[in-house]
Chain A
Amino acid sequence: MNKNRVLTLLLSSIFILSVVGCSSVTPTASSSNAPMTIIASEDYPSYASIGDLSERANTIVKGSVIETRVEAVNDIVQVTDAANENELTPASDPGGEPSSFDKIYTIHTIQIAESYKGGYKAGEHIEVKQLGGQLGNTEIINDDNLKLIPAKDYVLFLETYEDTPASLLNSVQSLYVIKPAGKSNQPGQQQSQSEVIVSANPENDLSLQLTDLQEIQNEQKNQ
């Protein structure tokens, strides 16, 4: 058993105990070797237009997946700086002591081909996390997530963070696939001589066009 495996099992154990609250009343917690399946359901903002979506995103890039890994991530914001604590309002500081725990995220490294908004440049890498994955015998299933696979080019609408990888704005409207022209038969798609933009989620009622991306990029340059 190598070091990574030991670390994986340790993190999985911590996660299990956190989710079930160390309670003996839960059958799945009573057997340490039993597989643990946790299903995550998220409530996301919905955006009325590409304009609203791009305004909310602080980073918009085109790129492809060059590496994918599964990792335990504690995504809670640690407010340890006294100055920051003083800046918190009653709304943003709910008080209490939030019980933090490591969650299983699938993290994709994206090689950026083009940047439309934000500080990243073509050729750089950005990490994007999606809730869900399997570590040891613990699995988080997130049915809402979209498939990100290598060898495809995507346009991603992202929010970035200081301490953790970026996140897509939501699971429906913030991921688009770039396809060679003529290979897509979906209505509402934008075609050019070279490529087509298709939403990665068929439920998405927004249509992203190349001209939208050009406008976003021009606004970024003018700022």
Chain B
Amino acid sequence: MSIMLFSAIAMFGSTIYAATFLTYGYPSTTIPIRTYNYTSAWQTPMDSSLANWNNAGAKVQFTKTSNSPNTITVGNFNNTAYGVNYASVSGSQVVSFRIELNASTITPDATNLSNFIQSVFVHELGHSIWLGDNPTTTSPSIMSYSRNRNSMTKPQTFDINNVRSKY
């Protein structure tokens, strides 16, 4: 147990600052996502989020299939994040990922729920295609923590160009 504790402490010793790119991304431009089913208040903007990436000209296509290992879960979670992307990684490749959207944090902060959901989901999808959190840039970015989630629903030119550079 002490070894595990040491490992955890050692790991947390490294704070990695905002970077435009992660060190990993999905290996192909077609990215399957397991079919999901939620109430229309969530389902519709979630579907729009996939379309927002698919129509952005970023070379990537998210497709819904019944047997994908890549999953989306919406629920109420006891943490302060709007969303989390858990990526299982091998080298520089995403093997599979799980995205969680947190209704407990999204709902109270959203003045436009549909836009807010899209902003968070598009952001989390961005992590699967190489994009890192909170990039240091003056350009608008869907990956920025300080973006207006009630209005920014689509990947921005900065994000699109970054994804295109990886595929």
Contacts and interface: CB of A to CB of B under 8 A. Distances in A.
B83 A43 contact: yes
A99 to B, nearest CB: 5
Nearest to B37: A96
A101 B32 CA distance: 21
Interface string A50-71: 0000000000000000001110
A140 B86 contact: yes
Interface residues of A, number: 71
A45 B109 contact: yes
Given A19-B96, A23-B69, A167-B78, A39 B89 contact: yes
Interface stretch (A72-80, A186-194, A213-221): A72-80
A75 B78 contact: yes
Interface residues of B, number: 66
Contact of B75 (A8, A98, A201): A98
Contacts of B107: 89, 91-92
Nearest to B74: A94
Given A20-B95, A147-B13, A148-B12, A93 B78 contact: no
A8 B2 CA distance: 13
B157 interface: no
Given A4-B1, A92-B107, A143 B86 contact: no
Contact of A75 (B4, B5, B41, B79): B79
A41 B80 contact: no
Nearest to A79: B76
A212 to B, nearest CB: 20
Interface stretch (A109-117, A128-136, A177-185): A128-136
Contacts, number: 194
Contact of B80 (A132, A148, A159): A159
A26 B38 contact: no
A81 interface: no
A23 B34 CA distance: 12
B11 A132 contact: yes
B96 A94 contact: no
Given A41-B127, A46-B145, A130-B12, A164 B38 contact: no
B145 A170 contact: yes
Nearest to B121: A43
Contacts of A79: 76
Contact of A40 (B37, B73, B84): B84
Contact of A98 (B22, B74, B84, B96): B74
A146 B41 contact: no
A177 to B, nearest CB: 13
B87 A39 contact: yes
17 contacts: A20-B95, A21-B69, A38-B86, A41-B84, A41-B127, A43-B81, A43-B84, A45-B145, A77-B77, A96-B37, A98-B75, A132-B8, A132-B11, A134-B7, A148-B12, A170-B145, A203-B17
Interface of A: 4-5, 8, 18-21, 23, 25-28, 36-46, 68-70, 75-77, 79, 89-96, 98-100, 106, 129-135, 139-141, 143-149, 159, 161, 163-164, 167-170, 172, 201-203
